[in-house]
Amino acid sequence: MSSALGYLGLLAALVSAAMLIVRGMTGLRRTERATPARTRLAALGLLVGTATAMFGLEFGLLTNDFSVEYIANNSATTTPFLFKVASAWAALEGSIILWVLVLAAFTYLVWLGHQRRGDGDRLGAGALMVMGMISLFFLALIVTVSNPFRLCITAAMVGCAESGSLPFAAFAAPLEGFGPNPLLQNHILMAVHPPLLYVGYIGLTVPFSFAMSALLLGQSGVEWLQRTRRWTLVAWIFLTAGILLGGLWSYEVLGWGGYWAWDPVENASLMPWLAATAFLHSAVVQLRRGMLQAWNFMLVIGAFALTILGTFLTRSGVIVSVHSFTQSAIGPMLLWFLMLIMVGSLTLFAFRIHLVASSPRLDSLASREGAFLLNNLLLTLFLFVVLAGTVYPMLIELFTGSQVGVGGPFFERIGLPLLLILIATIGFGSVAPYRSASRAVMWQRLRNPLRAVLAVVAMAVLLGARNRWILLTALVTGFAVAVIVRHLWASARAAADGQARQIPAAALRVMRNDTHYWGGQIAHVGVAVLALGIALSGNLGVEDELRFEPDQTSEFAGMELTYIESFVRQESNREVLGARIEIRRDGALISTLEPRLNRYFQTGQTVGTPSVNIRLGGDLYLSLVAISESSASLSVFWFPYIWLIWVGGGICVAGGAWAWLVKKPTRRRLVAEAHDGDAVSGGNRA
């Protein structure tokens, strides 16, 4: 029943996508055909069809309809409600249903924008055509090789042994399902991290579609940029939040104490983020100064191609990792699609470049544009390093059969210095005027922040701080933050007309008056905080292996850890084995931690759940390795100030949200920056 409903939804969506392509194409070619009314049914049908498919899958999961192979093998009667819902995207076939649903939602939102423009919007019609093509590909992928609605025809004791490709065939339903992968049903973040990442990935389809439409029309100028700026921002916000929560999930669930392993699939999410971040910056240069037109097309094509590459890496089984789904036939198809996208869009770009590329030259490197260029150079370089380090080992293995290792040390040795230079660029670029920055203006804006941060770091050196990386990071991040704070202070003071008590309110007005610029600055502060968290927790962290007998106490990082007892707990889907450990400092009880091992019944796998005591000074992180009647072995970690990473990432997301959601005040025209004695030449609007 759920299977038939879902399958019908897919077919309806498939037809709608085909219709969207045809109607979008005629609208692209002829102005009088570019009317929203002609594409309404197709856009709506795509959304309703994919939503029906998702509903069918969720309905089947919640009603334990094990006649569907996907449900029998990825859910169980004992699976808790939330994880039943999340099972819809916990495995390959279901995850692509979510994928097309998000894509259809974006397509419908683009159609609404198309409708607001009224008749004759050829650019919008073309973008809808491109989105229809991408939807059609993924829908075709689902109904041919990756169908989650296949019916089970041979039931096993648990789960489904064999399934038939016909959706309405006679079926056999097993009594009990397998349940989700234990790693994926161990934490609530599993329900949240993938959808956020999908919204981020798929949001990048929108600027890509508009860019392709603009190229097809041979349309130069900034219309496609203006219309997709908000979508790029939305995609960026969700991508950032998704990556951040992925790191948090890894930290909270996997028990190895880390949050980022430079796993190829993590890299696959980082690469589009780097491209999108570079694009958010370079789009400003084109909107403000008309430069970098061709480069922006390249970045958008690159960002979209990287999302497809990421999808391929995750779903083709070419890599082994916690993220990868099982091997399947969709890998080669995704690879072909990636090739098609690359060849098609780059060919189009090559044929149209003479129409769209007109680059006024840079007046001076010492300017806002110069800083943006440096930012783009560094971000693209970082992207290039991550791409090379991820793909190169696979190519070597493919062609020579020999395996080479490229892991964390490689990426960190190149990436961390790049990150520091980028943050230093924030300090300079955020307050540099456009066209050219004179030394006098820059010195006025930078001298006090520079002195303040030098004073703080010098103090730290005199007090005995010796770690080179931490000092350097503190210097660079402190400088960037101080420059931004000073700039806000100066702008607010000018806007408050010298009345000291008005300054906080004026600062808020200044920030609301130019949400894009100040949203960006909030995100910059977030990046600085995050970098400081990486440096502190990475360089000052300590770890140890401790083996306890009952009532034994061990010293670790200035704390006393006492093993109290072991415990066993039966839950509906798993058995929980844990150790109760009391943490004391100077004899006073701080906390009781319970690191656990969970054994899942259906698969027999054991997955740990670390236990973390979070304090301002740092996290004490206990991970249970083994436990028996007489002893418990634990990995213990001390990560100073690691919360700065999560807080910094959160500030980043908040900055994006500020630029996206906060409305400019309309009634009172503000006089904020025009008054700022040193914020001349419109230095702020970005």
Q: Which is nearer to another protein, 216 or 474 (CB)?
A: 474
Task: Give the strand pairing for 160-164 and 588-593.
Answer: unpaired
Instruction: Tokens for 143, please give them.
Output: 């109904």
Q: Which is nearer to another protein, 320 or 588 (CB)?
A: 320
Q: Which is nearer to another protein, 48 or 406 (CB)?
A: 406
Q: How far is the CB of 407 from another protein (least distance, A)?
A: 3
For position 628 contacting another protein by CB under 8 A, the verdict is no
Q: Which is nearer to another protein, 59 or 256 (CB)?
A: 256
Instruction: Tokens for 408, please give them.
Output: 């964390």
User: Helix (H, G, I), strand (E, B), or coil: what is residue 101?
Assistant: helix
For position 674 contacting another protein by CB under 8 A, the verdict is no
For position 310 contacting another protein by CB under 8 A, the verdict is no
For position 625 contacting another protein by CB under 8 A, the verdict is yes
For position 552 contacting another protein by CB under 8 A, the verdict is no
CB 599 within 8 A of CB 577: yes
Q: Which of 186, 221, 220, 179 is nearest to 73 (CA)?
A: 179
Diameter over CA atoms, the chain = 82
DSSP codes of every residue in 296-312? HHHHHHHHHHHHHHHHH
* Chain CA centroid to CA 221, Å: 29
User: Helix (H, G, I), strand (E, B), or coil: what is residue 179?
Assistant: coil
Q: How far is the CB of 458 from another protein (least distance, A)?
A: 4
CB 556 within 8 A of CB 546: yes
Q: Find the binding residues for another protein in span 268-297 (CB under 8 A).
A: none
Q: How far is the CB of 555 from another protein (least distance, A)?
A: 18
Residue 463's contacts (CB-CB under 8 Å, 6 or more residues apart) are none
Q: Which is nearer to another protein, 514 or 676 (CB)?
A: 676
Instruction: Tokens for 144, please give them.
Output: 């041919």
DSSP codes of every residue in 534-559? HHHHHHH-EEEEEEE-TT-EEEETTE
Q: How far is the CB of 22 from another protein (least distance, A)?
A: 41
For position 400 contacting another protein by CB under 8 A, the verdict is yes
Stretch that binds another protein, among 73-81, 278-286, 346-354, 357-365 (CB under 8 A): 357-365
Q: How far is the CB of 451 from another protein (least distance, A)?
A: 5
164, with CB counted inside 10 A (0-12, 13-18, 19+), is: middle
Report d(CA 83, CA 187) in Å as an integer.
9
Residue 221's contacts (CB-CB under 8 Å, 6 or more residues apart) are none
Stretch that binds another protein, among 371-379, 500-508, 516-524, 664-672 (CB under 8 A): 371-379
Q: How far is the CB of 260 from another protein (least distance, A)?
A: 12
Q: Which is nearer to another protein, 439 or 501 (CB)?
A: 439
Site string for another protein, 224-263 (x = CB under 8 A): -------------------------------xxxx--x-x
Q: Contact with another protein (CB under 8 A): which of 398, 462, 500, 568?
A: 462
For position 404 contacting another protein by CB under 8 A, the verdict is yes
CB 407 within 8 A of CB 262: yes
- Total chain residues near another protein (CB under 8 A): 78
Q: Contact with another protein (CB under 8 A): which of 37, 81, 157, 466?
A: 466
Q: Which is nearer to another protein, 346 or 406 (CB)?
A: 406
Q: Which is nearer to another protein, 402 or 630 (CB)?
A: 402
Report d(CA 260, CA 244) in Å as an integer.
10
Q: How far is the CB of 266 from another protein (least distance, A)?
A: 10
233, with CB counted inside 10 A (0-12, 13-18, 19+), is: buried
Cα dihedral sign for 266, 267, 271, 277? positive
Task: Give the strand pairing for 606-609 and 611-615.
Answer: unpaired
Q: Contact with another protein (CB under 8 A): which of 77, 144, 358, 364?
A: 364
Q: How far is the CB of 408 from another protein (least distance, A)?
A: 6
Q: Find the binding residues for another protein in span 531-550 (CB under 8 A).
A: 538-539, 543
Q: How far is the CB of 366 from another protein (least distance, A)?
A: 7
For position 407 contacting another protein by CB under 8 A, the verdict is yes
Q: Which residue has the tokens 């009314």?
A: 37
Stretch that binds another protein, among 5-13, 123-131, 465-473, 557-565 (CB under 8 A): 465-473
Q: How far is the CB of 34 from another protein (least distance, A)?
A: 36
Instruction: Tokens for 638, please give them.
Output: 């001390």
Q: Contact with another protein (CB under 8 A): which of 1, 458, 505, 674?
A: 458
Q: Which is nearer to another protein, 15 or 362 (CB)?
A: 362
647, with CB counted inside 10 A (0-12, 13-18, 19+), is: middle
Q: Which residue has the tokens 């055509």?
A: 129
Report d(CA 154, CA 172) in Å as an integer.
6
Q: Find the binding residues for another protein in span 13-32 (CB under 8 A).
A: none
Q: Which residue has the tokens 């009391």?
A: 582
For position 164 contacting another protein by CB under 8 A, the verdict is no
For position 327 contacting another protein by CB under 8 A, the verdict is no
Q: How far is the CB of 590 from another protein (least distance, A)?
A: 25
For position 678 contacting another protein by CB under 8 A, the verdict is yes
* Chain CA centroid to CA 19, Å: 32
Report d(CA 557, CA 555) in Å as an integer.
7
Q: How far is the CB of 276 from another protein (least distance, A)?
A: 19
CB 560 within 8 A of CB 583: yes
Q: Which is nearer to another protein, 354 or 447 (CB)?
A: 447
Q: How far is the CB of 259 from another protein (least distance, A)?
A: 12
Q: How far is the CB of 599 from another protein (least distance, A)?
A: 16
For position 326 contacting another protein by CB under 8 A, the verdict is no
For position 619 contacting another protein by CB under 8 A, the verdict is no
Q: Find the binding residues for another protein in span 479-518 (CB under 8 A).
A: none
- DSSP letter assigned to residue 603: T
Stretch that binds another protein, among 121-129, 460-468, 548-556, 579-587 (CB under 8 A): 460-468
Q: How far is CA 379 from CA 218, 277, 642, 683, in A?
A: 28, 8, 24, 23
Q: Contact with another protein (CB under 8 A): which of 467, 554, 613, 631?
A: 467
Q: Checking phi first, is residue 489 left (phi over 0); if not, alpha (psi -120 to 50) or beta?
A: alpha
Q: How far is CA 50 from CA 98, 104, 138, 166, 612, in A?
A: 8, 7, 11, 19, 40
Site string for another protein, 413-452 (x = CB under 8 A): xx------------------x--xxxxxx--x--x--xx-
Q: Which is nearer to another protein, 250 or 311 (CB)?
A: 250
Q: Find the binding residues for another protein in span 46-75 (CB under 8 A).
A: none
> Please, what's the b/e burial string for 63-89 (b: 16 or more CB within 10 A of its CB; e: otherwise)?
ebbbbbbbbbbbbbebbeeebbbbbbb
